Chain A
């Protein structure tokens, strides 16, 4: 009876997740008006910003890194984008491209320190978090840039079943699918899992580990810049504290989505679903009339449950 333990283990590993998702679905179904198009559309739209961050974070985590600077990168990218968009002669499209470039560059700086200098990813991105946020403050002179309307193309979208669906929701879904294809169907993706799983082995087998690692951080930075543009299209204000703390939400989405923090495993689709689950939970809490303070309590509980389920499953797999 060889396959039995395997099947048992596979489902045993997934069981806590399934139970949690089912319990969440039951709770949400009991809330009036929850499962209707407008609520689901809202969850997708509200989750899209952290969702894009989580996809960027997933690349870094799978490659064996860790990116704490995403929120600060958002602030600096948003400040750059808003300054560019409000200056003469720069079209929104050029401002978008330049902002994505800024994000990619900031991420590449993180990657260069981690891959070339060899600093710890946690310490590196903790430092650049402070540097980037400080730079955003200096760039803005402490004052917000209000009424930025250049990026409204991310806010327009079709109205389906009476629900306005801004483009940023579709951008998030599109990027999730493209990233999934890249990670599972390309050489680059397979190499990334190899680097994250065992850096030494990957290097000895001739993979360009330094370039791969820098690429993951650059992608995370670009994701942060895109998230910043989405946020700008939504609230139309760039401030020094734009995106404050969102790096933790993106890491949380990855953990809930089953991405390992030690690298080499996990799916970007998991990260996207993790983000949507956490957003659904948040929207449920607001709609059910609980004060928002419960949101952080419940979110923390969910993340810990998912992390514990993973840890127990891994221990089971070893023994």
Chain B
């Protein structure tokens, strides 16, 4: 749960700590320091997010140190502590795990450094603001598109989920179920975890095309385009026709597949834009401007009809 922001207190304390004499704007030759910790650099989603953070910091004349959490909760906590110790004025944290990261937020809280959570929320500690998408919205949008694809007749679908227990998996799953649970004509015939990996998705799907007959499955919903694309390819080469494939993230590959008809839709999540918004929030907060308790970035549905209006996320 996010506590209401207390910008006045934070600014006062930050100014006392830095001795900036009541002027919250960066006046001296030393720019304000932003420290950021992302879950991992090994996924292009977070590489794009890192680039967004850096670009916006450069534009605003802030110094930024973006660290790689290496897909490890403890490393994230240690890195937040290190950034606090090295004199960061604000921390942008995209937690790997919404519970484990509470310790990182509390470490910054006890040093009175403002924390902005990015992309995933943290279940504890005191946070200035949350910047990111609502994954459940994206899951709901997938569900709505699925209803449109299947029509009143409904049918059997395959659901490919990401990493069990990860916050995108939980929220996207919740959002999808919020829609399709009201529609008994839609049945999830197979529900598999694939850890957001292409090869796992392809292997699982290769097993599933043996289990079902061509024409039996009407749609494939995947929690990432990295899963949707390989699944669509396996389905097509097994001779399954007219399967509506709905992905998530809005990758370049998904855009091409929607154009060619291999996929039906994806949900665009612009991680670079989220990174830019997080740095803006940090800058506003450090400048003493009020910051809303959350900034929800949109998750537009991309189909063949509106493809031209958007750019792929990575």
Contacts and interface: CB of A to CB of B under 8 A. Distances in A.
Interface residues of B, number: 27
B252 interface: yes
A39 B192 CA distance: 19
B47 A42 contact: no
A259 B230 CA distance: 34
Contact of B202 (A146, A235, A287): A235
Given A234-B202, A292-B192, A146 B252 contact: yes
B207 interface: yes
B181 interface: no
Contact of A46 (B41, B198, B203): B203
Interface residues of A, number: 30
Interface stretch (A55-63, A93-101, A136-144, A182-190): A136-144
B61 interface: no
A39 B199 CA distance: 18
Contacts of A292: 192-194, 204
B198 A235 contact: yes
Interface in A105-120: none
Interface string B60-104: 000000000000000000000000000000000000000000000
Contacts of A39: 210
Contact of A146 (B41, B191, B237, B253): B253
Nearest to A36: B210
A142 B192 contact: no
Interface string A275-319: 000000011001101011100000000000000000000000000
A159 B306 CA distance: 39
Interface string B192-220: 11100111001110111011000000000
Interface stretch (A10-18, A206-214, A236-244): A236-244
Nearest to B201: A235
B190 interface: yes
Interface string A241-261: 100100000000000000000
A38 interface: yes
Given A146-B253, A244-B197, A282-B207, 15 more contacts: A42-B210, A45-B206, A46-B203, A137-B41, A142-B41, A142-B42, A142-B47, A143-B44, A143-B47, A143-B314, A147-B253, A234-B202, A235-B198, A283-B207, A293-B164
Interface of B: 41-44, 47, 164, 190-194, 197-199, 202-204, 206-208, 210-211, 230, 237, 252-253, 314
